Chain A
Amino acid sequence: MDKILEVSGLSQIYGPGCDQCFTCTGPEFETNICKHCSSIVALHDLTFDLYKGEILGIMGESGSGKSTAVKCLYFDQMPFGGSAIFFNNKEQKHLFTLNPAQRRSLRNQHFGMVYQNPNLGLNFDISAGGNIAERLLMNRVLNYSEIRSRAHELLTRTEVLTERMDELPKNFSGGMQQRVQIAKALSTRPSLLFLDEVTTGLDLSVQAKILDLILEIQAELDTAMIVVTHDLGVTRLLAGRTLVMKYGRVVESGLTDQILEDPQHAYTQQLVASAL
């Protein structure tokens, strides 16, 4: 299998940070707030590899650092430390050494992101089709009719009513906004897709539809995905491998079935037990 992403030692601190930040925080201390400088250690020493077409789940409670990891990799914020290499065919890109223009180019062409809050991923002042057009135009698709047909195709694929393609997404239901976001993220056929709590806040039937859609897309486009969730059901359904995080650290990692059937770490055991 071709490796698409190699992350090692990824760390993030919110606050001034000090020498003791990493040694006095973590699951064993039951906190991620440094007692010396009051900084929040959101992420420490996150290391994993991701392969083409693979879905990696990142699971954990609120504040465990799972969204921070994805935000760092999608350049929404710069990490405190660590490295990440993106493999694009035979080319290697060290994500955190790229200049802002290179980062934006990579984000627009090769990455896709679906946020928990559609406000972050969609522009509510332009139509659903316009949102998809924006991403296509960033990638130099300059034919109006081609943009229309691709937007139509993507919205059909994501089960958004195409008659509503020219309406503003703010008039859509939460589930439909999420599907427009997915269509937008997929418009450039990204090789890496980040999904940050995509089903949180949606009702069960809409959740199921969106999860089915993600699986279909993954099978069809062979897109590698990182799925952040606190929902064990979502992890079980989507992810082949899973990282379990607590207080900014990975406490357990492995095959999803193995983790859910036979959790080793006390926190994971507690998580699985409480879900069941």
Chain B
Amino acid sequence: MSSAINFAFLDEYAKREIRRSVLKAICIPGYQVPYSSREMPMGRGFGTGGLQLTLALIGEDDCLKVIDQGSDDSVNAVNLRKFVEMTCPGINTTTRLQEATLIQSRHRIPERPLLAHQILVLQVPYPDALVIVEPSEEKRKTMHGEADYSRLLVKLYEDIVKFKEITISHRYPTRINGHYIIDPSPIPRYDVPKLNQSESLTLLGAGREKKIYAVPPYCSAEPLAFNDVPFRIEDFTGANGERRTCMICSTSNSFLDEFIDEQGSRVYQCSDSDYCAQQQECVHG
């Protein structure tokens, strides 16, 4: 099969177009660059935007890590990894963050800070943060151009009025490099500060919506907030006022997933499976 298809599945023209779009996205941080998203042998919504970025960028020396909601073993991650292994012969894949040069992720940014030689590719379902307040794409483009995000702020205002706090749990509108506001894909609020002044390049690809945008290294990423109601992340504080810990590795500084155990009580576990495994290795030597 490998001889019947191109290396990395896409034809060279498609890869070149995506790379050009990536360069433009890096030059204009946060700007959504349109591109002709190709049909992939999987449904839109399964991460085709992120996958096309990965396939356009991957080279022989790269080592790829694919995660879904922080886990290396979930269906989306396993299948995308298999697809890349099948279409990119000779490429190494890993579950260990430190070994990876290219990380494709759905809904999470890895726990450990990424380094300058690494590229994070995020799969994006809805690229435009303004879509919740303005249905017309033409008007949204004008609003982005003029950095007119007052209607997004009204959304936050209404949230505070109703619930006494900002209740957006994921897809938190984030201003990049002082101008464009992006939808940073459905990462939790916890991950948004990781985009700010990150050493690594973050690329976001929306296959269905045919958009690519970027947060270049050492670029500011400020979550949208009022001056007197600052942005805050999930704190995982329990009823006793203490920070909850992972039931597997006992760490208290990671993003936690909540489960109901067989006894019906709530338990917590690191969302990033690789981080959790490495923490256990540290503890057990």
Binding site for B on A (CB under 8 A): 100-101, 104, 126-127, 129-130, 133-134, 137-138, 142-147, 166
Contacts and interface: CB of A to CB of B under 8 A. Distances in A.
Given A127-B161, A166-B161, A144 B150 contact: no
Nearest to B153: A137
A100 B142 contact: yes
B161 A130 contact: yes
B210 to A, nearest CB: 26
Contacts of B5: none
Interface of B: 142, 145-146, 148, 150-151, 153-154, 157-158, 160-162, 226-229
30 contacts: A100-B142, A101-B145, A101-B146, A104-B146, A104-B148, A126-B154, A126-B158, A127-B161, A129-B157, A129-B161, A130-B154, A130-B157, A130-B161, A133-B154, A133-B157, A134-B150, A134-B151, A137-B154, A137-B157, A138-B150, A142-B153, A142-B226, A143-B226, A144-B157, A144-B227, A144-B228, A145-B228, A146-B228, A147-B226, A166-B162
Contacts of B160: 144
Contacts, number: 45
A130 B158 contact: yes
Contact of B158 (A101, A127, A142): A127
Contacts of B161: 127, 129-130, 166
Contacts of A100: 142
Contacts of A126: 154, 158
Contacts of B146: 101, 104
A144 B151 contact: no
A130 B161 CA distance: 9
A142 B151 contact: no
Counting chain A CB atoms within 10 Å of each CB, the highest count among B145, B151, B153 belongs to: B153
Contacts of A129: 157, 161
Contacts of A134: 150-151, 154
Nearest to B146: A101
B281 to A, nearest CB: 45
B230 to A, nearest CB: 10
A32 B195 CA distance: 61
Contacts of B157: 129-130, 133, 137, 144, 147
Nearest to A105: B146
B227 A143 contact: yes
Contacts of A146: 228
Contacts of B162: 166
Nearest to A166: B161
Contacts of B229: 144
A104 B150 CA distance: 13
B158 A137 contact: no
A135 to B, nearest CB: 8
Given A130-B161, A133-B154, A144-B226, 14 more contacts: A104-B148, A126-B158, A127-B161, A129-B157, A133-B153, A134-B150, A134-B151, A138-B148, A142-B153, A142-B226, A142-B227, A144-B227, A145-B228, A166-B161
Contacts of A130: 154, 157-158, 161
Contacts of A142: 153, 226-227
A9 to B, nearest CB: 30
A103 to B, nearest CB: 11
A105 to B, nearest CB: 8
Contacts of B150: 134, 137-138
Contacts of B145: 101
B146 to A, nearest CB: 5
Contacts of A137: 150, 153-154, 157
